[in-house]
Structure 1
């Protein structure tokens, strides 16, 4: 996927859970979204689902890829001296070097470091990011995160490490790629809890420059936990009203961080079961699979099945690596795939598993609530407004064909 280079302009201030970030958006440039999994130029003529047998289509499926080698658990790197942040400072503009030196000279302050920051938009939703040099920031991370080399390697590869809370709030999927409005696509490599209010994720310093994040607007301050109040007062006096200072860390936060930091890994298979049997037609299969998600119309599943693979006739792999009749990315399948026919295996290539798996994924993103929630859930399936419009149009056609 090509990288779209855009000049980013400051348009607003966003206040999120105690930390301020400058919200950046494209200057006089419409948002651009790419899709790699579907030909959106197809018409909305619907297939006769009552005569399409899922089992027959399995004979045309591509063979499954070889089983990947097991991932060896990371053990962490030597020589890391952790300096947990006590204060998190976010400025409206780059902090001058003189100001940082004055903060470093305050009583009780033992270490300071600044990083780039700001907000980007993914389909209109703001994502607050810090851009860091992994070798420097690692010492500021909770121990459970600092001990995961894969996190820091992913940042060096230009990937995104999402905060665990942001993964839940925004429905992010580990291993998926998200197109930044008028910017590069970011792959979510892992999730972790960093204990920094308002921070939705980390990217590497070079990626931050490509995203247009503002240099040196975030500052971390370390010192004795018992001296936090004194450090807080001193930093606020130096900065005045032009920045926000948030107290972080402490024993309560440390316990919370340790639990959340266990999510620093790609999600394992869930072993979900959603038995729909082995219906003799796609019509019956879509109807039964929709019951996995109360409130979801079977016509939406049928529309996705048509747009993605023409109901199992083009099972991939796609150019993006999507597989099976519902064109799941393998990482997404690990999280949301189900055993639909009760044979003990959640098979990405089987329509009896893939269709209820799609219902499961859509439901996790709010599809059962209909309206805007449904449209957003379809967008999570494929991050393109054109894709959403196409699917909903085909769904309406199926509703007319099967009243």
Structure 2
């Protein structure tokens, strides 16, 4: 028998003793801490579900206002930032223009004037005149910056009250993500408990509370969809929806109109989304490039152009099956990978079909 054999046996025996000896104490520690952890998890879940109820209310309000004008206070911060950025840019441009004036012919002429002075008193007089010219130029730049800020504030307020105040799918997506993040955090808290802790009353109560919160969230979304109101498209979009729908056999123009309302309020809010979608039908640049149609026949493919965007949307939806009633849901889910989006578009389309 080699020396290695008893050594291996000894090591195995030592490991067995090590594993068995503290087992009772470890079991006792688990029992002592399981309830504490379950209690803490239950409180965490209660806090998150309370936040979820608030998020549900905000989501319901946002969904019910899709495509509609909302109070300007919702975008006060964005307008303020935009105004400040515009003012800063205007100030920079004014300062750059002033510097260019000083460093070009303006300054050369002034310096030449100083160098041509005949004596000290004349030099002093001319230097004072130069200082007045420079001060006047700086004052002009400051005044231009101040006027630019006022103009930026006015423009921001106007934008806030018109285009930017139209609720779209992008705002809804943010609300949905917020609510979903709360649900996932609560579920992760429960999943992190040990098997023993999950069987305790506190953890089981928390699990039931989370299930009830999920149900309330679904009910809130359903109720919000019932309050969505379709809007008659402006004449330009009305004509585009009809014409583009005719390029896809079986497509109803109301489907395009519903997508147009949900995505941008029929072009009233075509801002770039947080995901990078652009234009009145909110295309990702790569998707638009793959399906682009020159709807206005100007030789350019532009996702911001209403005709190009609507005709491209018709082509993209048609390729996804929207030409038949059985393929509409799949086509919409391809357009935006979220069931709430599909339900929202179909709710708007149903109302458009019903008419005023």
Looking at secondary structure, tell me which structure has more helix per residue: 2
Looking at secondary structure, tell me which structure has more strand per residue: 1
Kindly name which structure, 1 or 2, has the bigger radius of gyration based on alpha carbons: 2
TM-score of the superposed pair, with normalisation by structure 1: 0.31
